A and B are shown apart, each in its own frame.
Chain A
């Protein structure tokens, strides 16, 4: 029988698809039946997904050339 504590401890394993099919099914079943765990897991997943979207930055257009210039200076020095 899977407990709320297990839901907390295994949230990454569930998110990363790292549970056996039976464990995965038990995890999913618990989430459907338990509101606090559903709330916890939604928050956990939102943190991961939104962090990725918020932190990904586009590289500056002249990135490669700037790095090449910096490295040339240091190689010459």
Chain B
């Protein structure tokens, strides 16, 4: 089976794939799958589900390739198609409509001051990270986020995409992305605070 030369650009591979060259599309899959896998793992939580979502996304990309006109880079386009495939799977799994995320706001007095003391959680978050427990705790927190909030958090804070790129990928406005991102971060911080409150330092008690 002849290998596709590595120097060939995405644009040239897309042109070949649009004429039905499956090997050209395979090469695009090889190039873009590591980044798409990170996206899918962030959205889907486990490897098997991430692989199923990636398969959906890449098949959709193959089938819709004729409609890809090259206005954006292939990488951005396939990223968008894959993130939609993840959202579709999450929606099926959830089977209930998305509601805006309510964050339990802390109490502030009339002058805007905190009503209760605020603890610095950073040292204990570091501790959870060092003990390799943090990933699971964060994933549990992410499960409670509505799908679109989760997607915004993954794209912004794991993939470090710009607000505009996220808005384009998820068909949201930039102010909408910012609101969702802030609420998702606050909710995850709250989830960590709740978890830590229920799990006192192991080395203190025993």
Contacts and interface: CB of A to CB of B under 8 A. Distances in A.
Interface of A: 3-6, 8-9, 11-13, 16, 18, 36-40, 42-48, 50-57, 59-60, 63-68, 70-72, 74-75
Given A51-B134, A57-B38, 18 more contacts: A4-B114, A13-B182, A36-B118, A40-B118, A42-B122, A43-B118, A43-B125, A44-B185, A47-B125, A48-B185, A51-B138, A53-B129, A60-B37, A63-B34, A64-B30, A67-B51, A67-B54, A67-B58
Given A47-B189, A71-B58, A42 B112 contact: no
B118 A75 contact: no
B158 A71 contact: no
Nearest to A65: B30
A69 B134 CA distance: 34
Q: Is the interface of B mostly helix, strand, loop or mixed?
A: helix
B178 A74 contact: no
B119 interface: yes
A44 B183 CA distance: 11
Nearest to B122: A46
B6 to A, nearest CB: 13
Nearest to B106: A8
Nearest to B181: A12
B11 interface: no
Given A12-B181, A51-B138, A46 B125 contact: yes
A71 to B, nearest CB: 5
Contacts of B33: 59, 63-64, 67
25 contacts: A3-B108, A3-B111, A3-B112, A5-B113, A6-B112, A8-B186, A11-B186, A13-B182, A38-B120, A39-B120, A43-B118, A43-B125, A44-B189, A46-B126, A47-B192, A51-B188, A52-B158, A54-B134, A55-B135, A57-B41, A59-B37, A67-B58, A68-B30, A71-B29, A71-B62
Contacts, number: 137
A75 B62 contact: yes
Contacts of A54: 129, 134-135, 138
B143 interface: no
A68 B108 contact: no
Nearest to B63: A75
A55 B139 contact: yes
Contacts of B126: 46, 50
A11 B185 CA distance: 10
Nearest to B58: A71
B168 to A, nearest CB: 17
Top 7 nearest A-B pairs (CB, nearest first) are A3-B112, A46-B122, A64-B30, A43-B121, A12-B182, A39-B120, A54-B135
